[in-house]
């Protein structure tokens, strides 16, 4: 059974997940995947540890909702969202969004749409620990809100 | 009763992650926020007028004017930063 | 040594390639990958074998040119294009484009741009063999040409 | 001399993948195409006026009016279909 929404502490393997995503869909011609990783530098400070907090229950519901919206908007064969929670370190993988379609346009747009809405609508929060032990909550980026809005605009014009 | 949850920075600064509130004529989320911010310093600073508060009612994103009823689960948190 | 342009008969492993792409770049926050696969149905006919012909020498030059253009246009940390040639079968992987950047917008756009130009500017040709043994060359899609044009337009407006 | 290459359907239908042509005052790709299409049936049908022919000169995409000189490698092929 392929779970299309997963919130987990464990890491994931990209090849394995994309293979599973494609399983049983012979008409897939394009798979676009997004992998988000922990950068070691954020706002000019080194990051030693990144902690991901979430809202259990709502997280899964919000992610499934975003996934469904993408499927309503583009002809997608399958899609997958894995988001890690807990402690991570620089270069660790945080999130995987993978979208499969017959053609590349829908796969690119679908994956991009899911990421933009995940950034603004899924209840995750990042807390950084710097090498000196001080911690700080990561601020939301204004650009994430703007990125989401472009899809609303595109929808109104359609 | 109403279940209220706090996440991330709000949880840390308010010193609580979850509480039960008796329904005191709360018609919308706005009323709950007003009630909580009257508790004083941190509460007013974090949940008071003009603060950036994201809201969920029964695990769906909501707004200040979203209506609520007994048994609902309301959550307050800072802008999300996943991905 | 990580080769950023590869034209090969062998299959590739997505996880392995994305890991190598990220190696030594700690400031990467986003990797977008595109995997193109052989569909078993094209224009309402089953496909048994797909043969990829190319123009050795020009292929590598064209791909590197497209890659460079993407790097000039977006702040990309690294990128990779692998294109297979020779005989493939339904569900086989044909092409991998992977792009790494600090932020997701550049990674999504860079990967999409590379694929759109690869489709119209890189000298590859597909020949299908149907189950009854008949062969036919795949026709270029008009939509591929239009997909490329949107980037030219975006560039003029910038 | 000029090296001329044909790919994919062109290669199959013209029955050749590569040939050397003496430079006979070919100023541009257009002149080479005209010369080749005068060879008759298949050549005219594939490379003649109004046909969809993609062109490369020295392994760069080129156009009919692209100038050529002795020693150049010119290639003709149908619209590409990779990816």
By residue count, chain D amounts to 83
Q: Over the range A106-136, which residues count as b (16 or more CB within 10 Å of their CB) and which as e?
A: bbbbbbbbbbbbbbbbbbbbbbbbeeeeeee
Nearest residue on chain D to C117, judged by CA atoms?
D83
ipTM of this complex > 0.85? yes
Question: What local confidence, expressed as pLDDT, does residue B50 receive?
Answer: 83
Closest CA of chain A from C11, distance in Å = 12
- pLDDT, one tens digit per residue, over A89-141 is 999 999 999 999 999 999 999 999 999 999 999 999 999 999 999 999 999 98
Range of the domain at C119: 5-157
Strand bridging mode D18-21 / A93-101: unpaired
Contacts of C62 in chain D (CB under 8 A): 59-61
> What's chain A's average pLDDT?
94
Please tell me if residue A57 touches chain B, with a CB cutoff of 8 Å: yes
- pLDDT, one tens digit per residue, over A58-80 is 999 999 999 999 999 999 999 99
* Contact state of A108 with C102 under an 8 Å Cβ cutoff: no
**Which residue stretches of chain B have pLDDT < 50?**
none
Strand order through the sheet with D73-77:
D18-21, D2-6, D73-77, D54-57, D60-62
Number of domains in chain A: 1
Torsion of CA D3, D9, D12, D16, to 10 degrees: -10
* Contact state of A34 with C147 under an 8 Å Cβ cutoff: no
pTM exceeds 0.90 for this model: yes
Count of Cβ atoms closer than 10 Å to residue C152 Cβ: 9
What does CATH list as the number for D2-77? 3.10.20.30
Return the domain boundaries, chain B: 2-77
Phi and psi at residue D9, in whole multiples of 5°? -60, -35
- Check if the beta carbon of residue C80 is closer than 8 Å to that of residue C96: yes
* Contact state of B60 with A61 under an 8 Å Cβ cutoff: yes
Question: Rounded distance, CA B53 to CA B5, Å?
Answer: 13
Of A32, A41, A147, the CB nearest to C34: A32
CATH number for the domain spanning C138: value is: 3.90.1170.40
| Residue A43 pLDDT class (50, 70, 90 cuts) | low
Closest CA of chain C from D27, distance in Å = 22
- pLDDT, one tens digit per residue, over C112-145 is 999 999 999 999 999 999 999 999 999 998 899 9
Neighbours of chain C (3+ CB pairs under 8 A): A, D
Is A152's pLDDT higher than 80?
yes
Of A29, A32, A41, the CB nearest to C39: A29
In A85-145, beta strands by DSSP E: 86-88, 93-101, 124-129, 135-137
């Amino acid at each position: 059974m392929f779970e299309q929404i997963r919130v987990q502490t464990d890491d994931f393997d990209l090849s394995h997940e994309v293979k599973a995503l494609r399983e049983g869909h012979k008409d897939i011609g394009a798979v676009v995947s997004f992998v988000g990783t922990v950068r070691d530098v954020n706002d000019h400070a080194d990051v030693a540890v990144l902690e991901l907090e979430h809202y259990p229950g709502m997280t899964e519901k919000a992610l499934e909702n975003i996934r469904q919206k993408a499927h309503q908007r583009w002809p997608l064969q399958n899609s997958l969202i894995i988001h890690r929670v807990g402690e991570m370190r620089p270069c660790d993988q945080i999130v995987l969004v993978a979208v499969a379609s017959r053609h590349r346009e829908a796969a690119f747009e679908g994956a991009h749409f899911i990421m933009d809405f995940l950034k603004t609508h899924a209840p995750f929060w990042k807390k950084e620990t710097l090498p000196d032990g001080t911690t700080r909550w990561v601020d939301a980026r204004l650009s994430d809100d703007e990125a989401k809005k472009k899809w609303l605009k595109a929808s109104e014009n359609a | 009763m109403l279940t209220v949850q706090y996440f991330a920075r709000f949880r840390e600064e308010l010193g609580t992650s979850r509480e039960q509130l008796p329904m005191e004529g709360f018609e919308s989320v706005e009323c709950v926020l007003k009630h909580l911010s009257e508790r004083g310093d941190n509460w007013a600073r974090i949940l008071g007028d003009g603060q950036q508060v994201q809201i969920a009612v029964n695990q769906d994103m909501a707004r200040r004017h979203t209506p609520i009823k007994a048994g609902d689960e309301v959550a307050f948190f800072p802008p999300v930063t996943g991905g």
